[in-house]
Structure 1
């Protein structure tokens, strides 16, 4: 597949050799020429239905693996772009405990459970070959392609891809459902109370618009880090919740992901605010998210100085949220 034929739904920024050298310095690795060319030409990003299916991969037990490639990391546009190989992918590699003998380069859209990596020092696989990792089974690697170029050539359209309507607002059934949920779905009691506490007449409309923007992406109501559309829902919901009950820490707002994390009594957490909202009849969950994405949001807002610790917990600044509201109106 020629690089010019690769389609993205959220694309990074093509770059030059200087940026490539900067990425290599940050990750401490020299990238293979075919991967460098990919980043320089396309910028990487979230793939469209035209080139997202990876089939015919043989597992060690003899079964065949058919899986998607949702995102290939490359060069981002800004600090809020989750496509940066040097920054974002490195963060995920640490969070997901990816072995340092490989380089995390992409994911199938299943959150922290699966990923793709370039081999550098792992024995038994060719240098710079592309490997599939099952992160739920540490050390389980499967050879996908002997080079990054071959990896790209193996990408095929999904069964839902229609070349006659591609690029013309083609919506999957799941995306249509997510859009309806964003516009009309029920909101949790906690989110309703938080919205009312802002005393901003159109705040529910703003929250729904942020959710709608997320629903328009191929990731849908899943915060997997493949695009920045998930940042604004997080902003507007957190700011509304702090009007009722501030969070004393990241863990307090995120909810106890693991059984050994105690609950501090905060009723205005991510699950009660977002995961239990935008529901249609028969739905069990709204916006899903993995822990790494939540930590990234918190870290970025803290570093930007817009999320600050007060005597009454951590709060997003009013002047910052005003700019977000202006963007969403």
Structure 2
């Protein structure tokens, strides 16, 4: 029979295991932006955001427009790095991180100032913000790690107790008291092992990630644009900016020449980068500049066929006196990251659209 001390110990073990597991479920909080480095930058330069519970989905907002960027996030979700878009105008931008639960901005004084036409700032000499979470696990990951190691430690304790009790029994030399003590130790250790296994099964049923060394709650995670989602299929859709049909591409050759020029000059090595949403936006920003130098009006600030903002695969161009703009889907499989920009670049005419669908 187990005495009251044994029953108390088992109760404490069960409570501690289940409490840690359930507490881990609510440990994941909202993204918090705590710093940005550097705070002044230029198009094409790499910028890092520091904080906790971050996601790779970044927004740079000014009073005039918003840039959506997909960055690279570290394993602990405490740092996101991204490249400043090539077509971003000069000015001060609020920094936000988008999660499934909403959009979260940095606190007072956390902003990014863009200086167009300058040279990249020397980030090697920049003062790195004193961010205590940098490189450290977030709160949810810490609780999950503590619980996982607790299970491992308790398993080792059970093994040591059984081994010690066996040694005590072996050396009892017929002493009934010592034999009974050793037997009680083995019984309690086996009972503890059963309780530990039960706690594991209960927590695995609640969420397998709690006992797998990971902390990824089902349905809660970062989201990134679906390829084609931001572009809305280019000319398809039901909005005012859809392709009306019956139009002709007059500037396709000029767009192709501009794309070839950017590939040949390869500013910042962008032509060799994968066709992510961010790189597509940067590449087409250079293409727009090339078209502007040739006398065209060109922009990637164009709406898709559902009147939604461009995610990075569309470009519009027109000349002074035109009443409409020609819109092109200029990047194959944008967002897939499965080919270089030089191979993904294309000239896919999606129709003439009203000038109200482009930001001039």
Q: TM-score range by the shorter chain?
A: under 0.3
Q: Between Structure 1 and Structure 2, whose CA radius of gyration is higher?
A: 2
TM-score by length of 1: 0.26
TM-score by length of 2: 0.24
